[in-house]
Chains A and B, each alone.
Chain A
Amino acid sequence: MSNDTKKTSYNPPALEFKSSTFSVPVLVLSSDDLILIEQQLQGKIRLAPEFFKNSPLVLDVQEINKHNIEIDIVAVIELIRKLGLLPIGIRGGNAQQNENMIGLGIPIHSIHTSSTTVETKKPPKAQIPEPETKDLLQTGTTLITHPIRSGQRVYAAGDLVIVAPVSPGTEILAEGNIHVYGALRGRALAGVQGNTEARIFCHDLQAELISIAGNYKISEDLNPNVRNKPVQIYLDKHTLVIKEI
């Protein structure tokens, strides 16, 4: 009996997958001369030793392969490691090179920038229209007609229009303007991607926090004159201005 309940017991998730973009230096080779590569790489490292110390690095052999230069890729990896860098991938390699890399436990990256090789040319082109239309849709206006309840969070890539009350304990964020045709009692953050022209409009200001492009005011700092009133909030030289309307 007790075993049964154990089996069905609720386990909180121990992990989740997320996608992130990292900025990693890419080493583009244009010569097969290992001695020359070592000398020049050392020179670069000497310019900024702290930056290159244990820095991850992606090796790009596209140029070399374009000119059909033979290179001992395994030796290059050894060289990079010897100089204190940590290779975490290769791109633009041919089948043999890629196989060698996998053998060394180094992942293969595909090329997303404009490429000269035929097989990598097609997929990026096909993908381009999708994000573009998405962008167009996202920069439109998000309209919400139901009350925003405590604990809820709303994010709009463009303007956000809410024709209902916004409860305390909520967070409404927009890259553009925020309009609340009801009482604003939660946190409202407009221009969250840095748009200093964004404004907040609300019917009844009782917000916990208001912010435009990172310039914020908490409830306690709000002037009692503008409380419980229809107002607009905008930025004037990094200062939040709250005006009755």
Chain B
Amino acid sequence: MARIIVVTSGKGGVGKTTTSAAIAMGLAKKGHKTAVIDFDVGLRNLDLIMGCERRVVYDFVNVINGEASLNQALIKDKNCNMLYILPASQTRDKDALTQEGVGKVLEDLSKDFKYIVCDSPAGIEKGAHLAMYFADDAFVVTNPEVSSVRDSDRMLGILASKSKRAEENKEPIKEYLLLTRYSPERVRLGEMLSVDDVQEILSLHLLGVIPESKSVLNASNSGIPVILDEKSDAGQAYSDIVARYLGENKPHRFIDDKKGFFGKLFGSK
């Protein structure tokens, strides 16, 4: 049986798709057969981030409607042969997704794959609900600012009460916090919430911090998941996260300000 991971946040623009692409690639690179599904029907982006937009023939909605088989719709990644992408439909909307349809697709994928990463759309409506409904693990992507933290908190409430696991009274979804677009310098200047601030409000297991980085935008534009950019801080941060998720013990990085050393020496106190 595959482990189903939902990458969710409530708020838009925090880095769900970037994270989904990076995590899926990371898991596949570690030798686990992984599928990543774009649940953002109508606003599909994952194929762009994964650089496979020119190879989309069939999509998730076609599979749900029985117009194409899973094998026809799944796109094999060109960088890693253990990774497959199931793109969203751009011409439909979220109403094209049904609970039975999504359940069936996930069940079929489970037979063949080790990990299934569900890239949730923003919001708490149908698309986001279906993305998280069947999940075993949730990666809650949060930016260090109050509105993102509150939306994540709302999403956590929904994960705890409206998932399949919650409805069937099974062990709840495992929730992990991913803090993205983190800038230690701005935290030091008091312009951004710190890891501790966010942790205090969400009280959640921190899987990792991804620093604000130019490499993320570059990676998106070139259609290569940022995790493959091994020299970049964001790429390394995602590698750490995948390693931690798989049970390796990696110390947290990118939380402290690199320039903080002098700040501490010559700071006000």
Cβ B95 vs Cβ A9 within 8 A: yes
CA distance A233 to B154 in the complex (A): 27
The reply on B3 being an interface residue by CB < 8 A is no
Q: Which residue in B67, B126, B157 is a CB contact (below 8 Å) of A151? A: B157
The reply on B105 being an interface residue by CB < 8 A is no
Cβ A183 vs Cβ B200 within 8 A: yes
Q: Which of B123-175 contact A (CB under 8 A)?
A: 126, 150-151, 153-154, 156-158, 160-161
Q: Which residue in A5, A164, A169 is a CB contact (below 8 Å) of B154? A: A169
Q: Which residue in B65, B94, B98, B201 is a CB contact (below 8 Å) of A167? A: B201
Give the chain A neighbours of B126 by CB distance below 8 A: 10
The reply on A191 being an interface residue by CB < 8 A is no
Residue of B nearest to A204 (CB): B200
- 0/1 string, A108-133, CB within 8 A of B gives 1: 00000000000000000000000000
The reply on A20 being an interface residue by CB < 8 A is no
CA distance A214 to B177 in the complex (A): 37
Cβ A5 vs Cβ B96 within 8 A: yes
Which of A82-90, A96-104, A142-150 faces chain B? A142-150
Give the chain B neighbours of A4 by CB distance below 8 A: 65
Give the chain A neighbours of B154 by CB distance below 8 A: 149-151, 169
Q: How many A-B residue pairs have CB under 8 A?
A: 54
Cβ B96 vs Cβ A167 within 8 A: no
Q: Which residue in A5, A8, A146, A149 is a CB contact (below 8 Å) of B153? A: A149
CA distance A178 to B202 in the complex (A): 21
Cβ B65 vs Cβ A1 within 8 A: yes
Shortest beta-carbon distance from B95 to chain A in Å:
5
CA distance A150 to B149 in the complex (A): 10
Cβ B153 vs Cβ A167 within 8 A: yes
The reply on B92 being an interface residue by CB < 8 A is yes
Shortest beta-carbon distance from B98 to chain A in Å:
5
Cβ A164 vs Cβ B65 within 8 A: no
A-B contact pairs, 9 of them (CB 8 A): A4-B65, A5-B95, A5-B96, A8-B98, A147-B203, A149-B158, A150-B153, A150-B157, A168-B153
Residues of B at the A interface (CB closer than 8 Å) are 61, 65, 67, 92, 94-96, 98, 101, 126, 150-151, 153-154, 156-158, 160-161, 200-203
Contacts A8-B101, A183-B200 aside, 13 further interface pairs with beta carbons under 8 A come to A4-B65, A5-B61, A9-B95, A9-B96, A149-B157, A149-B158, A151-B153, A164-B203, A165-B201, A167-B153, A168-B150, A169-B150, A169-B154
